[in-house]
């Protein structure tokens, strides 16, 4: 993807982030919105290296992953607000429930880290069916503590499953800092135990993320097995919007993003193009929200549809 295309994606995700921030501060929100402000470059950069038919297991921090994979902002916002136009027909609100099999978006469990095993399963299916599809699995530093990571990593590395794990290391798992949840400084250090590459990348640098992901995807597609990419970033906002963060001393004031991925990428594109793309992104987000707010809320009767136990 060119710098300009990437800029468009980061700007689109940022526009949704800012719009939701404003909407929630004015109207409140009946669920948990986990803002991804400042982490858009990882989401756009990594997804840019995927094909449309590659699988995506996203994480809970924002809508950027699925937006970059081609889902419409209308669908995503409708899912977020529990509206009928969402991909799951209004079945609950919040960021963790949307799917789009046509674009390989396979969802995420409400329990963080469940995507490790689901993602490995998708990798096994790609391998058994003889496709060259790759599976991208996003997760946070805190989620890497789940046992599911270790069992999936062991199997995936032995069986050379076509996976790329993308860790957004923002230094926090709700109120627990990374130093209290990981014995090693880098999550990527764990890759060595499974005999796979562990790559550390600057998560504010969208182009660097895209480059690392491109290499990892090529490796997976060639049958050489998984890669663990750790993108170093920071959590700009609270765990959820409204989190007072009394546990934290490095609280970022307002919406300023330190080492802003959008600004860093802007240096790579002509200013007039960047301005135009930002205007378009803002208009797209605002039109989507307006459309979604006018939709009916999903009826409680849908709750048992599409559920298998």
Ligand X SMILES: Cc1ncc(C[n+]2csc(CCOP(=O)(O)OP(=O)(O)O)c2C)c(N)n1
Interface residues toward ligand X, by CB under 6 A: 34, 60-61, 110-113, 139-143, 170, 172-174, 235, 239
3-state DSSP call for residue 158?
Answer: helix
Contact 187, 144 (CB under 8 A): yes
- By CB under 5 A, the residues from 168 to 207 that bind Mg ion are 170, 172
List the single partner that 111 binds among Mg ion, ligand X, none, CB under 5 to 8 Å by kind. Answer: ligand X
CB of 8 or CB of 61, closer to ligand X = 61
Query: d(Cα 101, Cα 89) in Å, to the nearest integer?
Result: 15
230 near Mg ion, judged by CB under 5 A: no
Token pair 């998708």: residue: 122
Given the complex with ligand X, which of 114 and 155 has the nearer CB atom? 114
Residue 296 per-residue DSSP state: P
Kindly state the smallest distance separating residue 104's Cβ from Mg ion, in Å: 24
The stretch among 21-29, 164-172, 207-215, 294-302 that binds Mg ion (CB under 5 A) is 164-172
3-state secondary structure 21-82: HHHHHHHCCCCCCCCCCCCHHHHHHHHCCCCCCCEEECCCCCCHHHHHCCCCHHHHHHHHCC
CB 20 to ligand X: min, Å: 16
Closer Cβ to ligand X, 126 or 173, answer by number? 173
Chain position whose Cβ is nearest to ligand X: 140
Question: What are 14's two structure tokens?
Answer: 């940022």
CB of 243 vs Mg ion, minimal distance in Å: 13
* Region of residue 223 (phi > 0: left; psi between -120 and 50: alpha; otherwise: beta): left
* Residue 140 interacts with Mg ion (CB under 5 A): yes or no: yes
CB nearer to ligand X: pick between 113 and 203: 113
Closest CB to ligand X among residues 62, 198: 62
DSSP states along 181-224: T-SSS-GGGGGGGGTS-EEEEETT-HHHHHHHHHHHHHHHHTT-
Closest CB 148 distance from ligand X, rounded Å: 9
Which single residue brings its beta carbon nearest to Mg ion?
Answer: 140
Residue 264 CA, distance from chain mean position: 20
Residue 194 contact, options ligand X, Mg ion, none, Cβ 5-8 Å cut-off depending on partner type: none
Smaller CB separation from ligand X, 85 or 140: 140
Smallest distance, ligand X to C-beta of residue 18, A: 18
Give the separation between CA 126 and CA 129, rounded to whole angstroms. Answer: 5
Q: Where are the alpha helices (DSSP H) in 222-270?
A: 261-266
Of 17, 141, 260, 284, which one interacts with Mg ion (CB under 5 A)?
Answer: 141
Q: Which is nearer to ligand X, 227 or 233 (CB)?
A: 233
The residues of the shown chain that bind Mg ion, judged by CB under 5 A, are: 140-142, 170, 172
């Amino acid at each position: 993807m060119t710098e300009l295309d990437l800029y468009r994606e980061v700007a689109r995700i940022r526009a949704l982030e800012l719009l939701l921030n404003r909407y929630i501060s004015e109207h409140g929100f009946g669920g948990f919105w986990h803002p991804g402000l400042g982490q858009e470059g990882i989401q756009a950069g990594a997804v840019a290296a995927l094909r449309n038919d590659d699988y995506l297991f996203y994480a809970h921090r924002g809508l950027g992953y699925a937006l970059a994979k081609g889902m419409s902002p209308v669908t995503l916002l409708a899912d977020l607000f529990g509206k009928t136009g969402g991909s799951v027909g209004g079945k609950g609100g919040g960021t963790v429930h949307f799917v789009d099999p046509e674009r390989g978006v396979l969802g995420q469990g409400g329990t963080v880290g469940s995507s490790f095993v689901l993602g490995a399963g998708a990798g096994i299916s790609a391998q058994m069916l003889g496709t060259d599809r790759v599976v991208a699995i996003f997760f946070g530093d805190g989620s890497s503590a789940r046992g599911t990571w270790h069992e999936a990593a062991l199997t995936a590395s032995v069986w050379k499953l076509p996976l790329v794990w993308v860790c957004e290391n923002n230094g926090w798992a709700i109120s627990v800092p990374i130093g209290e949840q990981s014995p090693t400084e880098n999550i990527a250090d764990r890759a060595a135990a499974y005999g796979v590459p562990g790559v550390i990348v600057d998560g504010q640098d969208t182009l660097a993320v895209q480059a690392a992901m491109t290499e990892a995807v090529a490796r997976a597609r060639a049958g050489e097995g998984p890669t663990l990419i750790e993108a170093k970033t920071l959590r700009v906002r609270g765990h959820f919007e409204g989190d007072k963060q009394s546990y934290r001393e490095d609280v970022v004031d307002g919406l300023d993003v330190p080492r802003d991925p959008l600004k860093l990428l802007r240096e790579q594109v002509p200013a007039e193009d960047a301005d135009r793309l930002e205007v378009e992104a803002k208009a797209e987000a605002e039109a989507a929200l307006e459309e979604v707010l006018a939709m009916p809320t999903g009826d409680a009767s849908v709750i048992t549809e599409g559920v298998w136990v």
